[in-house]
């Protein structure tokens, strides 16, 4: 019988809200954080392009089990569109494919914004991570293939014009999962008859996390000096982590006692108690002594665990 390999790293659990610098890919950022924390396991909740900066929530250890809840959360971006050029990648990285001498007026832009709010259809950019026949669209595009991606439904809660100088416009958008801001810049440029591409992109929020929880890479690297020394003191690094349950804001919390927690960790359902406890909930989480016990659902007054967490 083959033996399982010993897990490498520390069993550290929690969320780190990284302020990702421009020029660093999301996978590279996760690898960096995993190495700094010497963590057994790490993942992120929503890719940021290398040219983009801002909020990249990174889950360590058991926090990876809560990634889907963060992926579904609303995102806020601040972005700059440069008018007059369309590019193959819809941002500064790709070559210019179309040009125009026309420039929109501020009134032209403001009149266009309602068309890009609410439930709308959007065609993702060719250079995206969407799979076509098992291959990433950006890999096919880099090989020179023309990538045809189907339009998909997205939701834009708001789209505001922040500033405009004639050549560039700065916007802020609150949107749902699957929205491509690069596609938004491309489509607005086409609708305005002047073409456009992303000149700067920063993600400022990923619900339920806030900008106040940002951690910058230099601060982590500084704290890691002690962690990676002979002292091997990770307390400074671990202080940057948020509790796993921070990702579950908005879901019903079912408080249980220690006996019920033990039953739940064995995969057994328990009766939901308390005057304000829900009788039905498609998604909920159980806690004991303020600590996450399990993710699950409430059905007919019973909490039924789906994913359990260690004590």
CATH class of 14-72+209-244: alpha beta
| Burial class for 186, CB neighbours closer than 10 Å (0-12, 13-18, 19+) | buried
Q: pLDDT value at position 5?
A: 54
Whole-model pTM: value is 0.89
Tokens of 304: 């039924």
Pairing of strands 302-308, 270-271: antiparallel
pLDDT tens digits along 94-129: 899 999 999 999 999 999 999 999 999 998 876 555
Q: Among the options 19, 49, 62, 187, which is catalytic? A: 49
Tokens of 242: 């948020």
The residue whose two tokens read 């210019």 is 96
Q: pLDDT value at position 134?
A: 53
Instruction: Report the chain's C-alpha Rg in angstroms.
Output: 23
In this structure, what is the dihedral angle of CA atoms 30, 32, 38, 43, given to the nearest 10 degrees?
A: 0
Q: Where do the domains of the chain lie?
A: 14-72+209-244, 76-200, 251-308
More confident residue, 148 or 13: 13
pLDDT tens digits along 223-271: 999 989 888 899 999 999 999 999 999 899 999 999 999 999 999 999 9
Helix axes 217-227, 26-37, angle to 10 degrees: 30
DSSP state of 158: E
How does residue 140 score in pLDDT terms, banded at 50, 70 and 90? very low
Contact 16, 214 (CB under 8 A): no
Q: What is the mean pLDDT of residues 124-137?
A: 57
Share of the chain above pLDDT 90, in %: 78
Is 276 annotated as catalytic? no
- CA separation for the pair 100, 198 (Å, rounded): 16
Q: pLDDT value at position 274?
A: 79
The contacts of residue 262 (CB under 8 Å, 6+ apart) are none
pLDDT higher than threshold 90 for residue 3: no
Q: What is the CATH number of domain 76-200?
A: 3.30.2350.10
How does residue 8 score in pLDDT terms, banded at 50, 70 and 90? confident
Please, which residues bridge with residue 163 across strands? 170
Residue 19: how many CB atoms within 10 A of its CB? Answer: 18
248: Cα within 13 Å, side-chain hemisphere: 23
DSSP state of 91: B
What are the angstrom distances between the C-alpha of 101 and each of 25, 85, 137, 161?
Answer: 33, 9, 31, 22
- Per DSSP, helices labelled H in 174-234 are 181-191, 217-227
pLDDT tens digits along 21-34: 999 999 999 999 99
- CA separation for the pair 275, 178 (Å, rounded): 38
The overall average pLDDT reported for the chain is 90
Task: For the chain, count helices (H), then strands (E).
Answer: 8, 18
Q: pLDDT value at position 273?
A: 84
Fold topology of 251-308:
2.30.130
pLDDT higher than threshold 50 for residue 137: no
Least Cα distance to 181 among 200, 165, 164 occurs for: 200
């Amino acid at each position: 019988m083959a033996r399982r390999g010993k897990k490498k790293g520390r069993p550290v659990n929690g969320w780190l809200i990284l302020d990702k610098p421009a020029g660093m890919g999301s996978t590279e950022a996760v690898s960096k954080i995993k190495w700094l924390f010497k963590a057994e396991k790490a993942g992120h909740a929503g890719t940021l392009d290398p040219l983009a900066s801002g909020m990249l929530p990174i889950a360590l250890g058991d926090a990876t089990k809560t990634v889907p809840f963060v992926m579904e959360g609303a995102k806020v971006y601040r972005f700059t569109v440069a008018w007059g050029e369309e590019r193959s990648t819809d941002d500064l990285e790709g070559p210019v494919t179309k040009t125009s001498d026309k420039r929109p007026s501020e009134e032209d832009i403001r009149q266009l914004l309602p068309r890009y709010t609410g439930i709308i259809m959007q065609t993702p950019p060719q250079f995206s991570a969407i799979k076509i026949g098992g291959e990433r669209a950006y890999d096919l595009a880099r090989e020179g293939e023309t990538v045809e991606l189907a339009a998909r439904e997205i939701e834009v809660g708001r789209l505001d014009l922040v500033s405009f100088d004639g050549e560039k416009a700065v916007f802020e958008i609150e949107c749902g999962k699957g929205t491509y801001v690069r596609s938004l810049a491309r489509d607005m440029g086409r609708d305005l008859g002047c073409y456009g591409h992303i000149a700067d992109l920063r993600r400022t929020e990923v619900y339920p996390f806030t900008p106040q929880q940002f951690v910058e890479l230099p601060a982590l690297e500084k704290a890691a000096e002690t962690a990676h020394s002979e002292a091997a003191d990770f307390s400074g690094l671990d202080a940057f982590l948020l509790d796993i349950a921070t990702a579950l804001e908005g879901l019903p919390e079912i408080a249980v006692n220690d006996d019920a927690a033990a039953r739940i960790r064995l995969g057994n359902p328990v009766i939901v108690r308390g005057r304000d406890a829900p009788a039905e909930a498609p998604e909920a989480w159980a806690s004991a002594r303020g600590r996450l016990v399990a993710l699950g659902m409430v059905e007919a007054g019973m909490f039924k665990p789906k994913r359990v967490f260690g004590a």
